[in-house]
């Protein structure tokens, strides 16, 4: 080799090394899937009665046990003295202050099973108050501090039809057969439900024997049933909660009412009786009025959740939020009883609002919430007697922190920075709001774009259309880890709120009533067109993915358009007929999402089935589902995968062990979910290789 050639080769090697070095540095400055173990979230902020201190729950992941844990932290109202109250790889949750602010109660599993604990705030002394055989939830202290209310499952003997002979001494026979005689017998995240009913209890705040308050073969809580946490009346004589105590509660689980339970004798009295959900009662400070949320059930796919007020005895029930065409949640009374504070989603933003008893609504704050996803609905706040409040706040660059302020001045100060250590030095994808017009009917559709770190508008980027589930839910201006990781892998990500999304009012939400999937195709496809028109998206590098309802629409998109180079449908519904017969929510979706039973409305079910368009699919498709998913059971994913294979479409089925809907229980499984999505798209991306966890 001559000297000139040698020098040329040396220059090439040096340039290549420099490029690799810059690439490595760039990668190090971006979020990676390992950051699932580094990201922390905050929730359930509880301000002390005097407004001086705030306790909140701080969630984290333990990389050695591959589990999610939580501890309690405390911070002063001015942001000083921020420190942990509890530590260790346990689950500490639900902190609640005593009325005098001298103690808190909370639930923890640090002794092996969830129990109720009490902590004296002056000394830090902590006592375990219960030795329950079932997990408690919904703890609340009585106004005088003498009692703690909670709900707990009360087991019953399982159903049995036969009597088996006893095995010989020393024999090891198989597990016995399970006899199921309930309509609701399994639920996503909880698995197969244990026989029995959840009931309301009280226990002395000094510890002692729990006493059951509610009775009957009804569910007063539990993951599968719509009961609320109980609240004490100011006199401490009654507990108010919403529950479904109708004989057909399994068939119509959303038909809850507000009940008054006597602490003295457990007698129950219904304060509301209408058809539909009456939820989350809150009693006014003077004990004269009760506020609650809900609606008269019209058996629509979506109805706006309204705020109601009634007299303490249940009389004069009235809607006060009729001027506010948005869902009301997280209701709390003003200290003077003049109105109520609540959270609500509007155009993809969760805000804090105040409503007078006359129905006038005023917005106080935006960006309420704490989440690692763009979904809405995660906001929480509490208010002290002096008008001091604490709230969770987030934005597209921050999963959420604890903030505080005074209601009379509208100012809010962020007190924590729980992910500052993670994000320092990291390049986060820039988030941009977009509005565009649907080709279906010229409706305005809202969405958001995440651009890759180091974005250059003069270049052409691959696009991922990421679709939300629900379908009655909304994306918004919130941090989203999964989408940020997609952007960190070099994709532009578009996520939108097509028709049927919440936060735009009742009419927009019900555009898909008995017609989902359907015209939402045009809303989503028009979003892709709007992105291509921007000039920095490569029209030959379009991809689509989404989970749950987003998985439904992913299949709908590739079944109606060949424009997507590859797709990943995540825990989708494929066959609506099998869905209502195998899903954990088929008992009410059959009436609300459909005109009735599938055998009576075959045509409606068939035209909305994703199998009706599967023959059109050309896009290489991954189907990704948790094996313990009872919301969109694995059988639906298997049907779709088998159909694709029979049609000769390039496809794979990914089954994640022991994971329910969402695939996030184990952090490593969450990593695997994201890597599989990006990896499949990368496999079909021009000139790219499969993504790794490095």
Q: How far apart, in whole angstroms, are the C-alpha atoms of residue 573 and residue 655?
A: 15
DSSP 650-676: -EEEEEETT--TTS-SSHHHHHHHHHH
Contact 427, 32 (CB under 8 A): no
pTM of the predicted model as reported, rounded to 2 decimal places: 0.92
The answer to which of 18-27, 276-285, 470-479, 625-634 has the lowest mean pLDDT is 18-27
Question: Beta partners for 446?
Answer: 435, 497
Model confidence at 476: pLDDT above 70: yes
pLDDT digits (tens, 9 = 90+) for 195-223: 999 999 999 999 999 999 999 999 999 88
pLDDT at 482: 98
For the 429-574+609-683 domain, the top CATH level (class) is alpha beta
Residue 84: CB atoms within 10 Å: 12
Residue 270's Cβ-count burial label (10 Å; 0-12, 13-18, 19+) is middle
Q: How far apart, in whole angstroms, are the C-alpha atoms of residue 212 and residue 151?
A: 9
pLDDT digits (tens, 9 = 90+) for 492-504: 999 999 999 999 9
Where is 417: in which H helix or E strand?
none
pLDDT at 226: 76
Taking phi over 0 as left and psi of -120 to 50 as alpha, with beta for the rest, 481 belongs to: alpha
pLDDT digits (tens, 9 = 90+) for 513-529: 999 999 999 999 999 99
Q: Quick one: tokens of 166?
A: 């006893």
Model confidence at 25: pLDDT above 50: no
Contacts for 507 with CB less than 8 Å, ≥ 6 apart: none
Contact 403, 391 (CB under 8 A): yes
**Mean pLDDT across 617-629:** 98
Residue closest to 463 by CA, chosen among 361, 392, 534, 556: 534
**Mean pLDDT across 61-87:** 97
pLDDT band at 687 (very low <50, low <70, confident <90, very high): low
Distances (CA, A) of 541 to 432, 439, 459, 685: 21, 22, 13, 7
Distances (CA, A) of 357 to 306, 321, 336: 13, 9, 12
Model confidence at 694: pLDDT above 60: no
Percent of the chain with pLDDT over 70: 95
pLDDT at 686: 79
Q: How far apart, in whole angstroms, are the C-alpha atoms of residue 332 and residue 312?
A: 16
DSSP 368: B
What value does the mean pLDDT of the chain take?
93
What is residue 50's three-state secondary structure?
Answer: coil
Radius of gyration of the chain (CA): 27
pLDDT at 619: 98
Residue 362's Cβ-count burial label (10 Å; 0-12, 13-18, 19+) is exposed
Where is 73: in which H helix or E strand?
strand 67-76
DSSP 219: B
Residue closest to 370 by CA, chosen among 393, 351, 347: 393
What is residue 282's three-state secondary structure?
Answer: strand
DSSP 615: G
- Positive or negative, the CA dihedral 228, 135, 222, 209 is negative
Residue closest to 559 by CA, chosen among 508, 621, 500, 516: 621
pLDDT digits (tens, 9 = 90+) for 415-466: 999 999 999 999 999 999 999 999 999 999 999 999 999 999 999 999 999 9
Q: How far apart, in whole angstroms, are the C-alpha atoms of residue 86 and residue 95?
A: 11
DSSP 477-520: SS--HHHHHHHHTT-EEEEEE-TT-SSS-HHHHGGGTT--SSTH
Question: Beta partners for 84?
Answer: 73
Q: How far apart, in whole angstroms, are the C-alpha atoms of residue 660 and residue 472?
A: 20
**Mean pLDDT across 84-112:** 97
**Mean pLDDT across 82-109:** 97
Q: How far apart, in whole angstroms, are the C-alpha atoms of residue 659 and residue 655?
A: 9
Long-range contacts of 438-443 (CB under 8 A, 24+ apart): 438/498, 438/499, 438/522, 438/523, 438/526, 439/522, 439/525, 439/526, 439/529, 440/519, 440/522, 440/523, 440/526, 441/519, 443/499, 443/508, 443/523
Model confidence at 19: pLDDT above 60: no
pLDDT digits (tens, 9 = 90+) for 583-619: 999 999 999 999 999 999 999 999 999 999 999 999 9
pLDDT at 21: 32
What is residue 294's three-state secondary structure?
Answer: strand
Model confidence at 360: pLDDT above 80: yes
Kindly list the strands in the beta sheet with 388-395, ordered across the sheet, starting from the edge strand earlier in the chain. 381-383, 388-395, 398-406, 412-414
pLDDT digits (tens, 9 = 90+) for 298-336: 999 999 999 999 999 999 999 999 999 999 999 999 999
DSSP 157: P
User: Cα-Cα-Cα-Cα dihedral of 668, 673, 674, 677, to 10°?
Assistant: 150
**Mean pLDDT across 670-674:** 98
pLDDT at 222: 86
Q: How far apart, in whole angstroms, are the C-alpha atoms of residue 394 and residue 381?
A: 13
Residue closest to 359 by CA, chosen among 313, 306, 296: 306
Contacts for 347 with CB less than 8 Å, ≥ 6 apart: 446, 476, 503, 504
Domain ranges of the chain: 429-574+609-683
pLDDT band at 105 (very low <50, low <70, confident <90, very high): very high
Residue closest to 288 by CA, chosen among 330, 328, 338, 347: 338
pLDDT digits (tens, 9 = 90+) for 154-165: 999 998 999 999
Contact 72, 57 (CB under 8 A): yes
Model confidence at 661: pLDDT above 60: yes
Instruction: Count how many Cα atoms sit within 13 Å of the Cα of residue 644 in the half-sphere of its side chain.
Output: 26
pLDDT at 642: 98
β-pair type (83-84, 92-97): unpaired
b/e 377-394 (16+ beta carbons within 10 angstroms → b) = bbbbbbbbebebbbbbbb
Q: Quick one: tokens of 254?
A: 């959303």
């Amino acid at each position: 080799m001559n000297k000139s050639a040698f020098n040329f080769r040396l220059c090439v090697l040096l340039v290549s090394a420099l490029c690799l070095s810059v690439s490595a540095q760039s990668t190090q400055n971006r979020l990676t899937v390992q950051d699932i173990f580094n990201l922390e979230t905050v929730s359930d902020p509880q301000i002390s009665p005097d407004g001086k201190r705030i306790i909140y729950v701080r969630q984290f992941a333990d990389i050695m046990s591959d589990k999610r844990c939580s501890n309690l932290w405390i911070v002063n109202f001015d942001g000083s003295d921020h420190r942990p109250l509890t530590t260790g790889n346990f689950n500490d949750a639900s902190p609640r202050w005593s009325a005098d602010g001298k103690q808190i109660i909370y639930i923890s599993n640090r002794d092996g099973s969830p129990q109720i604990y009490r902590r004296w705030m002056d000394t830090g002394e902590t006592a375990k108050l219960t030795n329950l055989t079932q997990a408690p939830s919904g703890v609340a202290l009585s106004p005088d501090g003498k009692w703690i209310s909670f709900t707990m499952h009360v087991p019953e003997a399982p159903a049995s039809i036969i009597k088996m002979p006893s095995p010989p001494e020393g024999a090891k026979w198989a597990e016995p057969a399970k006899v199921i005689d309930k309509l609701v017998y399994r639920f996503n995240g909880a698995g197969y439900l244990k026989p029995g009913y959840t009931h309301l209890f009280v226990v002395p705040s000094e510890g002692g024997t729990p006493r059951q308050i509610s009775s009957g073969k009804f569910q007063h809580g539990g993951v599968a049933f719509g009961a609320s946490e109980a609240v004490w009346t100011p006199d401490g004589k009654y507990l108010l909660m919403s529950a479904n105590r109708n004989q057909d509660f399994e068939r119509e689980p959303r038909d809850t009412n507000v009940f008054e339970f006597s602490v003295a004798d457990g007698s129950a009295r219904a304060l509301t009786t209408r058809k539909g959900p009456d939820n989350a009662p809150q009693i006014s400070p003077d004990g004269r009025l009760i506020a609650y949320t809900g609606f008269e059930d019209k058996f629509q796919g979506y109805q706006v959740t309204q705020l109601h007020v009634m007299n303490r005895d249940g009389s004069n029930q009235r809607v006060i939020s009729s001027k506010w065409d948005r869902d009301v949640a997280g209701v709390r009374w003003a200290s003077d009883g003049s109105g109520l504070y609540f959270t609500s989603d509007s155009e993809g933003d969760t805000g804090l609002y105040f409503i007078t008893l006359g129905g006038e609504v005023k917005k106080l704050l935006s960006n309420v919430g704490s989440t690692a996803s763009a979904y809405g609905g995660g906001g929480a706040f509490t208010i002290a007697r002096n008008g001091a409040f604490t709230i969770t706040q987030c934005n597209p660059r921050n999963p959420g922190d604890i903030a505080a302020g005074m209601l009379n001045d509208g100012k809010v100060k962020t007190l924590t920075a729980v992910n500052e250590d993670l994000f320092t030095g990291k390049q986060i994808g820039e988030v941009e709001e977009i509005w565009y017009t649907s080709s279906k009917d010229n409706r305005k559709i809202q969405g958001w774009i995440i651009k890759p770190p180091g974005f250059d508008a003069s270049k052409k980027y691959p696009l991922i259309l990421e679709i939300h589930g629900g379908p009655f839910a909304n994306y918004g201006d919130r941090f989203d880890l999964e989408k940020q990781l997609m952007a960190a892998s070099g994709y532009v990500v578009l996520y939108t709120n097509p028709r049927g999304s919440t936060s735009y009012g009742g009419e927009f939400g019900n555009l898909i009533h008995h017609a989902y999937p359907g015209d939402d195709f045009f809303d989503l496809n028009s979003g892709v067109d709007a992105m291509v028109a921007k000039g920095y998206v490569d029209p030959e590098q379009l991809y689509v993915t989404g989970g749950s309802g987003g998985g439904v629409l992913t299949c709908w998109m590739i079944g109606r358009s060949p424009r997507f180079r590859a797709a990943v449908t995540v825990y989708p519904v494929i066959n609506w007929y099998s869905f209502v017969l195998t899903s954990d929510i088929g008992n009410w979706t059959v009436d609300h999402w459909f005109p009735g039973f599938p055998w009576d409305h075959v045509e409606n079910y068939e035209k909305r089935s994703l199998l009706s368009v599967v023959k059109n699919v050309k896009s290489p498709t991954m189907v990704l589902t948790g094996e313990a998913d009872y919301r969109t059971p694995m059988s639906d994913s298997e049907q779709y995968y088998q159909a694709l294979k029979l049609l000769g479409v390039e496809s794979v089925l990914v089954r994640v062990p022991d994971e329910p809907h969402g695939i996030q229980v184990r952090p490593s499984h969450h990593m695997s979910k994201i890597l599989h999505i990006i990896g499949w798209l990368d496999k079909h991306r021009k000139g790219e290789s499969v993504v790794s966890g490095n």
